[in-house]
Amino acid sequence: MKPLNTGNDEFIEYKELAKSFIKSNDYKKAQEMYELALKNFELSDENKFLIINNISLCNFKLENYLETIKYATEVLEYDQGNEKARYRRCVCYNYVKKIKEALIDVKFLINLNPKSMLYIQLFNETSKNATDKVNDHFSVDVRIDKIYKQVFDNENKSHVVNGLKKIIGLITDENRTKTAVSKNLLNKLFELYSSKWVSSDFEIKTWIMKIYVIISNINKNYSLKIYRMLDLCILKTSICEKHETKNYETFCTIVGNLLSSFVFMACGIKNLMDQREQYNLESLKKQESGEYRSNFGDIMDKIDEKESLRLIQIYTFLIDNVDSKKISIFGRLAILRTLLTFLKKDTSCGWSIKLIKIDEMNKLLGLCSVVNNISILSTNENIKNTLSAILTKISDDVQSKKHSEIFKDSITEYLQFSMQNYNDFNSKLELLSCLGVLFNGPRKQILSFISCIPIFDLINNVLETANNDFIKYTLNILIIVISKNISNDNSAKLVRKLNDICENVAMSDSIRILSLLALCKLGSIGGRDADSKSFHEKSYTVLAEECKRHLKCKIEDFSAVHSLIECIGYLSFNANVKEIIVQDHVCVKHLMSQYAFKSTTAYVYVKMLSNLTNSYEEKKSDEQMEKLAKTAKTHVPVKFEKDLLEYAKNRRQIFLDAGLVQQLNRLISLSNVYVDLEVC
């Protein structure tokens, strides 16, 4: 939102707008308006606390009870006779079970206006709550049994869901946790989870999983019991069922996180058990503090030798089912994230070595190559990113020459097999998909055999198609791999094709900007060295003008905006381009007005500004090293003339005059992103 300047007329207009939102019951927007008014105006105490009181009202209507109490208290510190603020605070105290404080407020209200029926009713309700709280300690067991009966003794879905929500309330209440959390509850939840009528109801299953997550965080001893109870059950009976509902997606996310935490815990315990003699755990157990005590508490006393077998069973199940066609995207993501947990730095326990075998590696790489549908070119971005993380972790883990060779051979064999059907278009697409994941992951391995894979021929072939989905997908992969070694023969052909896409007005903005990004990234390979430019200087000017043209147009696709900012960031390694961008005041105005309001662009946006204003740490040249380099006929980087301090200062001043500081402050406050770059 445009920042407001101080001024009575504007303040009144702003306040009236907030009131209109209240009249239309849009309390969220009204609250935002009042909060911005509080931030942007210098107000008298009277107006300031009027605004705070209205924020309290909005929070009250939105049932944000703690926030209501906070703002109402601020108002009462200024004016203790404000009945509306005290009434709202009293009601909220009742909701959050602060009965003592509620009684003080309601008695104050009764003294102010003893005939008010509203205050009398509130007094009666508060008194009743006080009585209930006194008796609550004696009736916890009865209430728990009543809720259990509602949940576990009927098959009415709405009753069960409401009961499960009440159980969450019980176990998160500090006064009832010890009584509510028990082995009996765990067993009853498991029976409900395993019952036939709940088998495909993922809303109920999700609530059960939420309870398990809460209990495992509250009581680490029960955490191990839940792990033993659920591990293979939740995998076999739920994740491996193909469903596409929203409830199922939420369920799989919770299950993946829960199972991952269990596996991490069990792997850590197993790791400690395997090194019992080295770490002398018997003496370590007696310590009151330290890694063992803080991480695992008393769980070690209850671990038996079956844990290793249990983990192997889970691992085997994950590998056997990771590429199953019966599993949905959500289930597969949960499996992959659990598998990644096995590879955590401190608890890998040799799992990486188990994964480098050809059969296991073929399953993972086969999943990298999956093209579900001719118009959906990836299984899911989260899945592919997780696969890249898994392959990277394996690459980091296998340090020995023997295991490193096995890993490399497994990847090579898979790629060579994929190359056999190279003439088939879908096979090309699948191979390209796999290479995209590999380039995003274990780069050491792929660099060793990239020379034998015609990746740029693949890219050029797919870019020749008329299918926009194929082109967009291929450009995204190209952007990942573009900084790798490219031969001159392929480079010229690729540049011509990318240029054709940029000039094709029939293409969407997102595709043309992606193509532009690929060109800009190609042009930035030489970095800030004026003598190592990838393109002719005129080409950089053309690219800069194209970026400016897109910048001045309204782009609806925010991913395209992100790519455009990246384009300018890469191009601005060239100091001549910096001048072209910054000296165009319309261009600077657009950069300052519309491209910094999303947290997803925060990093690339500030990185671009850092380049344009030379706000980065420059490496100081060593004269002796330069002399040695010249003697050895080694290239010495040359600085652009327009990167000299006088040019940089001028560019900084242009941005400062355009409101750079305010823009960065706004970016941080609106997106909650901390930017650790000393721009200007």
Per-residue pLDDT of 393-421, as tens digits, reads 888 777 778 888 888 888 877 877 777 76
Both 458 and 580 in a single domain?
Answer: no
Report the pLDDT value the prediction gives residue 674, as an integer from 0 to 100: 41
pTM of the model: 0.57
Same domain for 98 and 223?
A: no
- The predicted-structure confidence for 638-668, as pLDDT tens digits, reads as follows 778 887 888 888 888 988 888 888 777 777 6
Query: Taking CA 608 as the corner, what is the angle to CA 605 and CA 612, rounded to the nearest 5 degrees?
Result: 140
- CA–CA separation, 607 vs 567, rounded Å? 11
| pLDDT for position 72 | 92
CB neighbour burial string for 522-559, b if at least 16 within 10 angstroms, e if fewer: bbbbeebebeebbbeeebbbebbebbbebbeeebeeee
Can you tell me which residue has the tokens 């959906």?
376
Q: Examine the pLDDT at 118 and tell me if it is beyond 70.
A: yes
Residues 64-84 have a mean pLDDT of: 89
Q: Which of 194, 198, 203 lies closest to 250 in space, CA to CA?
A: 203
pLDDT class for 286, splitting at 50, 70, 90?
A: very low
Q: What is the pLDDT of residue 90?
A: 92
Q: Where are the beta strands (DSSP E) in 192-300?
A: none
| Tens digit of each residue's pLDDT (9 = 90 or more) over 452-487 | 667 777 777 777 776 777 787 778 777 777 755 544
Q: Are 212 and 95 within one domain?
A: no
CA 31/CA 33 separation, integer angstroms = 5
Query: How many domains is the chain built from?
Result: 4
Q: Which of 22-26, 194-198, 475-479 has the highest mean pLDDT?
A: 22-26
- Give the pLDDT confidence score for residue 6 in this predicted structure: 44
Does residue 136 have a pLDDT over 50?
Answer: yes
**Could you tell me if 124 and 83 lie in one domain?**
yes
- What's the rounded mean pLDDT across residues 269-282? 46
pLDDT at 680 > cutoff 50: no
What would the mean pLDDT of 278-300 be, rounded to a whole number?
40
Residues 400, 337 contacting (CB under 8 angstroms): no
Tokens 């009250």 — which residue? 60
The whole-angstrom separation of Cα 157 and Cα 161 is: 6
Tens digit of pLDDT for each residue in 323-356? 776 667 777 777 787 777 777 655 555 677 777 8
Please, which pLDDT band fits residue 563 given cuts at 50, 70 and 90? confident
Are 168 and 296 part of one and the same domain? yes
What pLDDT sits at residue 466?
A: 67
Same domain? 213 vs 282: yes
Least confident of 227-236, 287-296, 564-573, 614-623: 287-296
Whether residue 513 is found in the same domain as residue 604: yes
Q: Which residues contact 253 (CB under 8 A, 6 or more apart)?
A: 330, 333, 334
| pLDDT value of position 277 | 41
Q: Is the pLDDT of residue 384 over 50?
A: yes
Measured CA to CA, the distance from residue 509 to residue 363 in angstroms comes to 36
Q: Verify that 514 and 538 share a domain, yes or no.
A: yes
Give me the domain span that covers residue 604: 508-680
Top-confidence residue, 128 or 222: 128
- pLDDT for 673 equals 42
Nearest-angstrom CA–CA distance, 393 and 396? 5
Helix (H) or strand (E) holding 521: helix 509-523
Same domain, 534 and 460: no
Distance between CA atoms of 588 and 567, rounded to whole angstroms? 15
Residues 631 and 676 in one domain: yes
Does residue 176 share a domain with residue 125?
no
Q: Which residue has the tokens 């991952």?
A: 260
Tokens of 371: 């093209």
CATH number at residue 23: 1.25.40.10
Average pLDDT, the chain: 73
